[in-house]
Structure formats: structure tokens, C-alpha cells
């Protein structure tokens, strides 16, 4: 699957809404393509106490639950359809799930694809 297809998958799960006075969800959607060709999606969960997580984390959790951990491509979009680069926590999280995930292609904006390695230039692993 190409990034256009992943973009549509990420966009399809967007559903911004409040679950309670303290929790907002669905404002960012993410899609990840695995080595086996499966696509996993997720949405962000933002909590007042900062215990939520990003859409990329949700998608990765679904992937790991399904028994996979190698990500080939990933993308995240906001409720307006703009592509967002992953935050530092997401970059680090995905990179640690499989040694080859540093080669994961990440769409960081409409015109740019980078690897996780490029997004983590001073990687603590050397």
C-alpha cells in the first residue's frame, strides 16, 4: 500500500469528540503498514492528567496485539486532514519495537517522506 492509501485509512478513523470533561479523543488518526502487508490504525486519546497517548501508539498497540512489530510505513493526520510528523515519543517507541524500524518510512508532511533514523539523528543506541 502506498502513502495515499495509508492517508485514507488514517483519515477514516478520525472522530474528534469528548468522552468526558477530562478526555478528548479522535482528533488525530494514524495508520501503519507492517511487513506482512497489514494496516493498523489508531486515534489519539488526550487526557487532562497527561496519561493519554498518540494515534501512532494506538496503531502500534493494535499491531503488537496482532503479533507483529515491523513497521514499513506510517502516517498521522489531524481532523483537518493535515499530515503530522510523529512526536519524539512516538519516534522512539516505534523504533524500539523492531531493530529494522529505524528504516520505517514516515510521511512527515504532504511532500516529504523520511526514515525514523533520519528523524532520530542522535540515536542513543549509537
Q: Active site residue: 24, 56, 80, 105, which one?
A: 56
Question: What's this model's pTM, rounded to 2 decimal places?
Answer: 0.94
CATH number at residue 114: 3.40.140.10
**pLDDT at residue number 126:** 74
On whether residue 124 sits in a domain, the answer given is no
| Distance in angstroms (rounded) separating the CA atoms of residues 79 and 58 | 16
**pLDDT at residue number 50:** 87
Residue 21 lies in domain: 3-119
| Total number of domains constituting the chain | 1
56 catalytic, yes or no?
yes
What are the average pLDDT values for consecutive 10-residue runs of the chain, which has 126 residues? 98 97 96 98 95 96 98 97 96 97 98 97 86
Closest by CA position to 36, among listed 126, 96, 98, 92: 98
Amino acid at each position: 500500500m502506498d502513502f495515499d492509501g495509508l492517508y485514507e485509512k488514517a483519515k477514516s478513523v478520525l472522530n474528534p469528540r469528548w468522552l468526558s470533561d477530562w478526555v478528548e479523543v479522535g482528533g488525530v488518526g494514524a495508520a501503519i503498514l507492517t511487513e506482512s502487508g497489514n494496516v493498523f490504525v489508531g486515534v489519539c486519546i488526550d487526557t487532562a492528567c497527561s496519561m493519554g497517548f498518540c494515534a501512532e501508539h494506538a496503531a502500534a498497540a493494535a499491531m503488537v496485539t496482532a503479533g507483529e512489530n515491523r513497521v514499513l510505513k506510517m502516517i498521522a493526520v489531524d481532523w483537518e486532514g493535515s499530515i503530522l510528523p510523529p512526536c519524539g515519543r512516538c519516534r522512539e517507541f516505534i523504533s524500539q519495537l523492531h531493530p529494522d524500524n529505524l528504516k520505517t518510512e514516515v510521511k512527515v508532511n504532504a511532500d516529504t517522506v523520511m526514515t525514523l533514523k533520519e528523524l532520530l539523528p542522535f540515536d542513543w543506541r549509537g
